[in-house]
Amino acid sequence: MKKMIAVCAILALAALTCAGCGEKTAKNDTEEAATMTPTQAEQNQQILEPSATPAPTETPTAAPTATPSVTEDGMALLCPSDILKKREGAKYAKFEHGTYYSEYCGRERGYTVLLPVDYTPEKKYPVVYLLHGIFGDENSFAGNATLPVLIGNMIADGLCEEFILVCPAMFAASDDTAQQPGFTAEQMIPYDRFAHDLTKCLMPYIEKTYSVIEGREGANIAGFSMGGRETLYTIITYPETFKYACAIAPAPGLVPGKDRFMTHEGSYAEDEIRFAEGKTIPEKIIICCGTKDSVVGKFPLSYHELFTKNGIAHIWYEVPNADHDDKAQYSGLYNYLPFIGR
């Protein structure tokens, strides 16, 4: 029976993820945001003002319905569609697979990496560690052909700096033939263990292997769903390690809770979701989620409320009409990547 539930859950999640693959975001009114850096975005809050004021002779029929394209924190609600399209003559990076030895897990573990097209050891690059969803592995993002396009186009348009994208395998079990991902309390443990594997084993390996800006200045973390939850877990556990963090549709379980998949014991008590005073902490934390997320529902909103209650500065916004899908992911990345290396 348990197996049946797990299989159904896997199929449902896989169907949603695939529904999002290569999805074309509808052309939207956020094109102007394409030329904005966060600083410019911050200065452009007037975009929020509704521009379509009815002419004086018109009888107002209903309240204005136009959705603002940029939030007061400078977040473009949707990723502009042209950023997601291949451009003629443009070169896009390709994912490569690598392995590192994890002393923490006592075995060799995989990762994929997307180096800038013009990668040269003469430069030093910031790194984004991008964490996949539940049941995923280091190949989950590498299978997404749009991701290199989004990144390549943003770099070409001067929207973000060149950076190295590292996609690890998050399920940090010591023996992954004996332990598999799933929806039990026991199966949550390897996900949280990844925070230690990442900071103690993978990050030092990446710093040794590629030409990266070392330490916190070059270290950034983001993730989708289970990866979003582990992004939050990792920055709460190692607040001084990362400069910018982004949790897209973070899954439940960082703190106690219950949903249709399982009862979450919680990796931390609500009161532990804090940064000690005077500690170095991430400079920006973005939490976002689709308004129609049918998998994690209102859990991301509850993280926003908890962070607010516990005094953790962060940016929160919702992606209009996005489900647990690419639309939410691309919006989150589009808003997050401009911070990297700046």
- Catalog residues that contact ligand FER under the rule CB under 6 A: 13, 133-134, 183, 225-226, 251-253, 259, 261-262, 295-296
The 10 Å Cβ neighbour count of residue 42 is 12
Closest Cα partner for 268 from 240, 214, 310?
310
Provide the residue type at 240 as one letter: E
Q: Which is nearer to ligand FER, 154 or 295 (CB)?
A: 295
Q: Which is nearer to ligand FER, 80 or 253 (CB)?
A: 253
User: CB–CB of 293/228 below 8 Å?
Assistant: no
Closest Cα partner for 128 from 210, 188, 36, 192?
210
Q: Which is nearer to ligand FER, 133 or 168 (CB)?
A: 133
Q: How far is the CB of 148 from ligand FER (least distance, A)?
A: 22
Q: How far is the CB of 257 from ligand FER (least distance, A)?
A: 8
Placement of tokens 């170095």 in the chain? 280
Q: Which is nearer to ligand FER, 169 or 251 (CB)?
A: 251
Q: Which is nearer to ligand FER, 162 or 318 (CB)?
A: 318
User: CB–CB of 325/84 below 8 Å?
Assistant: no
Q: Which is nearer to ligand FER, 118 or 305 (CB)?
A: 305
3-state helix, strand, coil in the chain (%, to 5): 35, 15, 50
Residue 108: phi and psi, rounded to 5, are -75, 135
Q: How far is the CB of 342 from ligand FER (least distance, A)?
A: 29
Q: Which is nearer to ligand FER, 47 or 289 (CB)?
A: 289
Q: How far is the CB of 34 from ligand FER (least distance, A)?
A: 28
Q: How far is the CB of 101 from ligand FER (least distance, A)?
A: 27
Q: Which is nearer to ligand FER, 95 or 183 (CB)?
A: 183
Q: What is the CA radius of gyration of the chain?
A: 20
User: Among positive and negative, which fits the CA dihedral 335, 337, 339, 342?
Assistant: negative
Angle, alpha carbons 145-149-150 (nearest 5°): 110
Q: Which is nearer to ligand FER, 232 or 262 (CB)?
A: 262
Tally of residues, the chain? 342
Angle, alpha carbons 212-218-220 (nearest 5°): 120
Paired tokens of 127: 């790194």
- Three-state DSSP at 286 gives strand
Q: How far is the CB of 227 from ligand FER (least distance, A)?
A: 7
Cα–Cα distance measured from residue 232 to residue 319, given in angstroms and rounded to the nearest whole number: 19
Cα–Cα distance measured from residue 182 to residue 190, given in angstroms and rounded to the nearest whole number: 11
